Structure 1
Amino acid sequence: MTAPDGHTHADFAECALPYAEFTVDARTRDLRLDASRLESLLESARILGSSLDLHEQLNHLMRTVMGRLLVTRALIALRDGEGWRAAAVRGFKEISEDDPVEPERLAALGLTLQIPIGEGARQAGFLALPPPRRPGWPDDQSEREFLEALLSLASATIENALAHEEIVEANRELAQKIHELNTLVELARAFSATIDPEEVARILMLTLSGRWTVRRHALVAWPPGQPPLKLARNVSDPDLERWRALAEGAAEPLRDGEFLLVPLRSGETTVGVVALGPPATGNEYTAEDVEFCSALVAQASVALDNAWRFQDTLYRRQMERELELASAIQRDLFPKQLPEVPGLELAAANRQARLVGGDYYDVLGDPQRPLLCVADVAGKGISASLLMATIQATLRALLVFPLELTELVNRANALLCGSMPGNRYATLFTARYDARSGTLEYVNAAQCQAILARAGGRVELLDATGLPIGMFPGIQYESQPLALGPGDVLVVYSDGVTDAQAPGGEEFGLERLLDCVRRL
């Protein structure tokens, strides 16, 4: 067959074949290249969209770009406030991940190709590369478009990953706060279950050391009016003394080398300190750690304060019970009923300033020759009451011997000097009355002046005849005789009567007492 131009079909085919082959190959190559880019873009979209892990996304992005552009160095920077930070780095020693970076510095390091990740206000970061080694790169507009499309796609997934990281961090912080709140609640329950300060301190230190895995720690407290408290592990006494000196007067946490010191406060006063060594993890205490630790210590401070006050209350109640018992015992030491002495009408009363005291009266011996006693031990309270019982026992023991009044007082003084403390003594007025003769002999060992009101109205004061008993061994006491007539009144008293004060502070005094005696 002949063609319109005079050639045969065989000749056309042979002639046309080279042109056809060239045209089909170029188009196929472009189509294949576009298909490859599209396939790579879709694969990247699948990988980037399937993960919310920022590092995984950045690593994929770096591998894809570095492989396509045949470069060995690359850096991805993400927005950090008003600046940029390195989020992924390959092939650099000068820059590490999380370092702040500036585009100008990267350009100086050879990363002259800097492509934004995202556009405008939504720009999440940028990719910095050295000049690519990919053949034909300067004129390969399709590869540039592919790279821009890949980074635009990555911008959205990176924003999602960053948002996910923020949510995860917020959830972590929320979980941490919930855990800390639960710890505070459990600690409050544990504190409320005990009234022992040492147990409160032990619970606190177990909680703190377990929370931060601390192997060296201590709690030292020096509350006023309470025994000191010390719990220490792997620390020395000099360390404890230094921490006490540092913490006294401090209200906020402070540092001593690797130790964190948190003061224990009672009101506005520092009464102790908690010392925590470095965590076994090697991490430093963060501001959040210090805040949480301070909250735990503050809660323990309240629990310790309550425990100390409760101990005070228990101690006071115990003391009150003991004082009530001592008061009952002391009341039993006074004569329940005064004996009937021929020729005398006896009356006595005692009212202590406290539950117990050192005032004493008694009528001892034979009613025909009774021994009348009024004594006053220096001081007040339990110690004075014990010495008062000693004086009573001494006098009663000496009565078994037929002793004159002065000899009885001399021996009593000698015995009491051996049993009474050096700063203690007692005043004593003792008298022996003879019912048959109506005479009285007395020794006034520095007791208040006894008052003798005669029936005719005259008043006499019986001065001291010697020093207090129980102070100076070996001294000799003198006695004075006294004749009592019908209607005479003898009043022997302690200084608690004359020293008694009105609400305004005015003392009752001797003159008022004399007026009272005159009216008898």
Structure 2
Amino acid sequence: MDESSKKKIHDELLTLLSQKLPSDTIADKVTKIIESEISKREQQYYSTLDAHVEELSKTYEEISALFEINNLLSQTMNPSERLDDLATILRHTIPFREIAVRLKLQSDTIEFTKSFAKGANKINKAIEYVESGHEHETVLVEPSSGLGDLQHLLSVPIKSGNEHWGYILCADRESGIFTAADRKILESAAQQIASAVERFLRFQEELEKQRMQEQLQIARQIQSRLFPRFLPRSSFVSFNGYSSPAIQVGGDYYDILVRKDDMLVAVADVSGKGVPAALLMTSFRSALRSIAKFHADMQILVRDLNKMLLEDLQDERFITMALAQIKKDGETRLINAGHPPAIVVSNNSVKTLHASCIPLGLQEDPDCKVQTTNLRKGDLLVIYTDGVIEARNEKGEEYGMDRFSELILKNEHLSAEEIVKTIQRSLTEFMGEMPLHDDTTVVVLKYLGENIPS
């Protein structure tokens, strides 16, 4: 009881006592004064209690709505699929007539609107106002805002951190103006939508990565079939090779074509890595195999091959290649178009055949020169790509041409297959835990002599 109420009762009692009334009358009047005050206090108490109950009930409804929204969005990967249900839940706590949600999910823009009252037509004006430069901020429009018949609007952005995904707006409140409580509810809903959007985008990214990995694995399997699956047999040469891409697919290529009077061995390296290089490598393979059937002359073969590649290669794309023609008598003709030097091991010494022209695909006539050497029984011809000699270890050191040549020379007595395995082991030991930074390809040929039976 406040002081004014106490003083009023005190004054009423003093007035009553000063009237010198009978004691029974005084007792009755005192009882009435006390009962009247108690009645007033009860009315005030119940009024305050009702207000608290109403506030608690409103808070419960708000919390319940947010819980429903959280449960709703947690049951779907794509939040745009549940916007209709979301609007219905919000309608239980915010008495709006119309609602709109705009979401930008990757390249898609989701535009959702819903009306809960016949004749409601403020939503388009509300959207137009918000999208006139207010998408990134909270907007509260009241009748006093001076926007004509757009008198009730509440819009909040859907964002997380620096990412802005869209907005959610409510228009045309049924009674009164949008309140601070309405704003809190809508902001909480927007935060939950933003979290759902992030989950959805992360899921999409992981799904895309998985799809890409699956597609790259398929591409890797297809590309592996483009290399010689079964090495052709020859009476005068034994050979072996391998190719390892730096990533799933690569731009290195090797092939061995046995013809009637000779054998062609090609090792090529398409500029770049990954899928683009792999596609160009496939084009190179098709061109080489089709042209090799009709040309015995190496220079004409390379000239026509270059013309076909010019049609497929884009600007700044090119292909380095070493193409060797080995005859039964050991005569070997080689064209090196911008490729690392081929290695010839003969009589315990190493000879290198360097590039004699620019890579293919850069100009119409690269004018490639033929280099000739004569292999003797037991001699080796090793063709490789730059990924081999440029492989790095954990100290940043390159494998290098000297190390590679010494390894081949040291193991020249082994078979072509054994030499290839030795090169692979040496590279693996040298690199340690370092990954390949470029595709690596090696082909080893050992000349057996002209009169070895098939």
The two structures share one fold, judged by TM-score above 0.5:
yes
**In the alignment, what sits opposite 1:218?**
101
Residue 156 of structure 1 pairs with residue 33 of structure 2: no
1:72 is aligned to none
Aligned AA (1:119): K
Task: Map 1:89-104 onto structure 2 (within 5 A).
Answer: none
1:333–1:241 Cα change, 3 Å = farther
- Sort the Cα spacing of 1:516 and 1:182 in 2 relative to 1 into closer, same or farther, 3 A: same
- TM-score norm. by structure 2 comes to 0.72
Aligned to 1:430: 323
Aligned residue number for residue 364 of structure 2: 473
Shift of 1:346: 0.7
Residue 119 of structure 1 aligns with which residue? 6
Out of 224, 245, 250, which is 1:331 matched to?
224
Separation (CA, whole Å) in 1 of partners of 2:206 and 2:163: 22
Q: How much does 1:242 deviate?
A: 2.0
Mapped partners of 2:60, 2:91: distance in 1: 19
SS of the equivalent of 1:119 reads helix
Aligned to 1:242: 133
| Aligned equivalents of 2:60, 2:92: Cα separation in 1 | 17
2:277 is the counterpart of 1:395? no
Shift of 1:381: 1.4
**Which residue, out of 158, 162, 165, partners 1:269?**
162
Matches of 1:324 and 1:361, distance apart in 2: 20
The 1:147–1:163 alpha-carbon spacing in structure 2 relative to 1, beyond 3 Å, is same
Aligned match of 1:439: 331
Alpha carbons 2:158, 2:168 under 8 Å: kept: no
Cα distance between partner residues in 2 of 1:237 and 1:421: 46
Structure 2: runs of 5 or more not aligned? 11-27, 114-123, 146-151, 412-454
After TM superposition, list the pairs within 5 Å mapping 1:25-174 onto structure 2: 118-120=5-7, 155-174=37-56
Write the letter of the residue equivalent to 2:68: E
Please report how far the alpha carbon of residue 335 of structure 1 lies from its aligned counterpart in structure 2 after TM superposition: 0.7
Deviation, 1:309, is 0.9
Corresponding residue for residue 181 of structure 2: 288
Instruction: Give CA deviations for 1:181-232 in whole Å, capped at 9, x if unaligned.
Output: 332232223222221253256655565467532535332447xxx4354425
Which aligned runs of 4 or more in structure 1 are off by greater than 6 angstroms? 146-152
Q: Distance in 1 between matches of 2:184 and 2:363?
A: 65
Cα separation, 2, equivalents of 1:407 and 1:161: 110
1:427 Cα deviation from its structure 2 partner: 1.4
The Cα offsets for residues 321-370 of structure 1, whole Å up to 9 and x where unpaired, read as: 11111111111111112222233221101111111111111112416412
Distance in structure 2 (CA, Å) of the matches to 1:452 and 1:499? 20
1:448 paired residue among 333, 336, 340: 340
Secondary structure at the counterpart of residue 131 of structure 2: helix
Query: C-alpha separation between the residues in 2 aligned to 1:506 and 1:255?
Result: 64
CA distance 1:264–1:505, shift in 2 (3 Å): farther
CA offset digits 1:226-266 (Å, max 9, x no partner)? 4354425426678437235x45xxxxx56587654434344
Stretch of structure 1 that moved more, 500-509 or 381-390: 500-509
Deviations 1:406-437 (A, max 9, x none): 222221221121123324222111111111x2
Residue of structure 2 equivalent to 1:189: 71
- Structure number with greater CO (CA < 8 Å, separation at least 6) is 2
Alpha carbons of structure 1 residues 194 and 275: separation in structure 2 relative to 1, 3 Å: closer
> Which residue is 1:38 aligned to?
none
Out of 350, 354, 374, the residue aligned to residue 267 of structure 2 is 374
Judged with a 3 Å threshold, the aligned counterparts in structure 2 of structure 1 residues 403 and 311 are, in CA distance, closer, same or farther, namely same
Structure 2 letter corresponding to 1:332: R
- Secondary structure, in 3 states, of the residue corresponding to 1:189? helix
TM-score, structure 1 as length reference? 0.64
> Aligned partners of 2:128 and 2:315: how far apart in 1?
38
1:409 corresponding residue in structure 2: 302
Residue of structure 2 aligned with 1:231, choices 105, 108, 111: 111
Residues 69-126 of structure 1 show CA distances to partners (whole Å, capped at 9, x for unaligned) of xxxxxxxxxx9x99xxxxxxxxxxxxxxxxxxxxxxxxxxxxxxxxx7x434999xxx
From the superposition, tell whether residues 202 and 368 of structure 1 become closer, same or farther in structure 2 (CA, over 3 Å): farther
- Three-state SS of the structure 1 residue aligned to 2:49 is helix
Q: CA RMSD in A?
A: 3.4
Say whether the 8 Å CA contact 1:204–1:300 is kept in structure 2. no
Residue 498 of structure 1, CA deviation: 1.9
User: Per the alignment, do residues 198 and 216 of structure 1 end up closer, same or farther by CA in structure 2, a change over 3 Å counting?
Assistant: closer
Residue 264 of structure 1 aligns with an amino acid whose one-letter code is I
1:59 — aligned with what? none
Give the residue type in structure 2 aligned to 1:184.
L
Give the distance between the partners of 1:359 and 1:428, measured in 2 at CA: 10
- Paired amino acid for 1:352: P
* CA distance in 2: counterparts of 1:418 and 1:161, whole angstroms: 94
The 1:199/1:315 distance shift into structure 2, 3 A limit, reads: same
The aligned residue for residue 58 of structure 2 is: 176
Residues 218 and 196 (structure 1), Cα distance of their counterparts in 2 relative to 1, 3 Å cut: closer
The structure with the greater share of residues assigned to strand is: 2
**Contact 1:205–1:218 at 8 Å: present in 2 too?**
no
Following superposition, the deviation at residue 486 of structure 1 comes to 2.6
Is 1:490 the equivalent of 2:369? no
Q: Which residue pairs with 2:431 in the alignment?
A: none
The amino acid that maps onto 1:469 is: L
Please tell me whether Structure 1 or Structure 2 has the larger radius of gyration of its CA atoms.
Answer: 1
Instruction: Give unpaired runs (5+ residues) of structure 1.
Output: 1-78, 83-115, 124-145, 248-252
1:142 corresponds in structure 2 to: none
8 Å Cα contact 1:221/1:264 also seen in 2: no
1:468-493 deviations in whole A, cap 9, x for unaligned? 22332354433222222233222211
Change (3 A) 1:272 1:428: same
- Specify whether residues 480 and 240 from structure 1 end up closer, same or farther in structure 2 by C-alpha distance, changes over 3 A only: farther
Q: Rate the CA distance shift 1:242–1:325 in 2: closer, same or farther, 3 A.
A: same
Q: Measured at CA, do residues 295 and 411 of structure 1 come closer, stay the same or move farther in structure 2, by a change above 3 Å?
A: same
> How far apart are residue 151 of structure 1 and its match?
8.4
Instruction: Tell me how far apart the structure 2 counterparts of residues 313 and 160 of structure 1 sit (CA, whole Å).
Output: 64
Q: Check conservation: 1:209, 1:215, Cα contact below 8 A.
A: no
Match of 1:341 in 2: 234
> Take 2:347 and 2:84, find their aligned partners in 1: how far apart are those partners?
76
Change (3 A) 1:305 1:122: farther
How many residue pairs end up in the alignment? 376
Partner of 2:198: 305
Take 2:88 and 2:281, find their aligned partners in 1: how far apart are those partners? 52
1:315: how far off? Answer: 1.1
